Chains A and B, each alone.
Chain A
Amino acid sequence: AQSVTQLDSHVSVSEGTPVLLRCNYSSSYSPSLFWYVQHPNKGLQLLLKYTSAATLVKGINGFEAEFKKSETSFHLTKPSAHMSDAAEYFCVVSNTNAGKSTFGDGTTLTVKP
């Protein structure tokens, strides 16, 4: 069994300030974890993924996430928000169970000028 919880449905930051989007997961097996971004009326784009290599994962557009097994967390961060970062972000957990990826409900990031 697996599940993912995105702890904030909405996050608002000012341009140039840090971004933190929180994600907790549960998985019966060693998980793979992903963050995707979705701009309005668009498909999803992969930001980064963790697959049991380095626990600190760097992605596109300056985003990174840290896998913390003890806390079952995979929070997404960025040091300085840009207006173009405003979007919906999804945390996803997958394991070896064929075809099973579980998406979180999403976090809407708003960036204020």
Chain B
Amino acid sequence: SQTIHQWPATLVQPVGSPLSLECTVEGTSNPNLYWYRQAAGRGLQLLFYSVGIGQISSEVPQNLSASRPQDRQFILSSKKLLLSDSGFYLCAWSRGLARDTQYFGPGTRLTVL
């Protein structure tokens, strides 16, 4: 069966510090991978998606970036965090795009102080 992991589970970082969140998927190959952000009391905002190694599509211009160094690894980064980067970050995978079910990881709660 497939599983998706995210770490860390929670993170508290000062403004201006760097960020690296990691997501890995097990039990499947060549998944489509997604990063979402969920602000308090809000819906999900798609940040990035990837259809393969090194292929990243950005949905929202911001100070975040994503990378996919391996088939089942997806990393969300920032060089300098802003207060507005606080939120709940969710990674997801799917077999195909759009019409396929997305399977979500447990999320990372990021607080920027």
State the A residues within 8 Å of B (CB).
Answer: 32, 34, 36, 41-46, 49, 51, 90, 94-101, 103-106
Would you call the interface of chain B mostly helix, strand, loop, or mixed? strand
Cα distance A34–B99 when bound, in Å? 9
Task: Report yes or no: A99 in contact with B99, Cβ–Cβ below 8 A.
Answer: no
Interchain CA distance A31-B43 in the complex, whole Å: 20
- Most interface-central of B4, B98, B104, B109 (chain A CB within 10 A): B98
Contact of A41 among B99, B104, B105, B107 (CB under 8 A): B107
Any A CB within 8 A of the CB of B97: yes
Task: Give Cα A49 to B96, complex, Å.
Answer: 15
Q: Are A94 and B44 in contact (CB under 8 A)?
A: no
Choose among A42, A46, A101 the residue that contacts B106 (Cβ–Cβ < 8 A).
A42
Contacts of A49 in B (CB 8 A): 101
Which of A44, A95, A96, A106 lies in contact with B90, CB distance below 8 A? A44
Docked complex Cα distance between A34 and B101 (Å): 8
Give the number of residue pairs across the A-B interface with Cβ within 8 Å.
58
Q: Which residue of B lies closest to A104 (CB)?
A: B43
B97 A43 Cβ-Cβ under 8 A? no
Contact of A95 among B42, B49, B98, B106 (CB under 8 A): B98
Chain A nearest CB, measured from B113 CB (Å): 19
Binary contact track B63-76/A, C-beta < 8 Å → 1, others 0: 00000000000000
Contacts of B109 in A (CB 8 A): 41
Cross-chain contact A90 with B99 (CB below 8 angstroms): no
CB neighbours of A41 from chain B (8 A): 88, 107, 109
Give B28 Cβ to nearest chain A Cβ, in Å.
Answer: 16
| B43 interface neighbour in A34, A95, A96, A105, Cβ under 8 Å | A105
21 contacts between A and B (CB under 8 A): A36-B104, A41-B88, A41-B109, A43-B92, A43-B104, A44-B92, A51-B99, A90-B44, A94-B98, A94-B99, A95-B98, A96-B99, A97-B98, A98-B98, A99-B49, A103-B43, A103-B44, A103-B46, A104-B43, A105-B43, A106-B42
